[in-house]
Amino acid sequence: MTNNTITIAVDGPAASGKGTLSRQLAKHFGLNYLDTGSLYRAVALIALNDNIPLDDEAALSQVAGSLSDDVLSDPRLREPGVGEAASKISSLIPVRETLLNYQRERAETAPGAVLDGRDIGTVVCPDADVKLFVTASSEVRAERRYKELLSKGQDVTYDDIFAEIERRDARDSSRSAAPLIKAADAHLLDTTNLDIERALDAAVYLVNQAIKPKI
């Protein structure tokens, strides 16, 4: 945090509800919002479209350094194949370093921001004013993602989504570069049995306890 900004770091595995929760938190507190996962998904989408190998660090870093607002809002970013490719790309240190400054600049832009991802509280913004680690059971997360994709007309099965969730969890947690782990000072928020309204209430309470003296 600087004198003029507030940073809220929200980490957690895929489909834990952290994206929806983060957007609602940003709206509630009047802060900017950045889905950092969309950055990696955007790099992945371009790589898949342009047949760039997912281990070509130089080419992927160049893509990461030239992302446009158009690709960041592309609905194809949410397709399962793009998410899995993004998970692979996110393990590449040169790509992570290219995107790191962009993320930190957004966090430091007044009045501050809510950033969600997998390494916000541990790497991107280790000095964030408040950190949340949002999680849920694998079964619940797969069901949420399955229903989300069905509502968008995508031809998916629950079993395929569950398998992808399990693979991503394993890959994200075991990678050497910024693995998915709960920061020591992060508040754990399990949304397995919470709808978005109750999850938001819990998150707002935790944030208020952390930032009240600063606002």
Q: Tell me the domain boundaries of the chain.
A: 6-208
pLDDT band at 3 (very low <50, low <70, confident <90, very high): low
pLDDT digits (tens, 9 = 90+) for 62-114: 999 999 888 988 989 988 789 889 988 988 999 999 999 889 998 999 999 99
Spatial CB neighbours of 9, under 8 Å, sequence gap ≥ 6: 115, 120, 121, 124, 125, 128, 130, 131, 132, 183, 186
- Residue 212 CB-density burial (10 A; 0-12 exposed, 13-18 middle, 19+ buried): exposed
Give the model's pLDDT for residue 1.
Answer: 45
The mean pLDDT of 16-38, rounded to a whole number, is: 94
Calculate mean pLDDT across residues 116-136. Answer: 95
Average pLDDT over residues 140-164: 92
Alpha helices in 56-151 (DSSP H): 57-64, 69-72, 80-89, 93-107, 138-151
Amino acid at 83: G
The span from the CA of 93 to the CA of 104, in Å, is 16
Distance CA 194, CA 100 (A): 32
Consecutive H or E run containing 132: strand 130-135
**Mean pLDDT score, 135-161:** 92
DSSP code for 78: G
Q: How many whole angstroms separate alpha carbon 124 and alpha carbon 118?
A: 9
Cα distance between residue 89 and residue 43, in whole Å: 8
The span from the CA of 192 to the CA of 161, in Å, is 17
Which class is domain 6-208? alpha beta
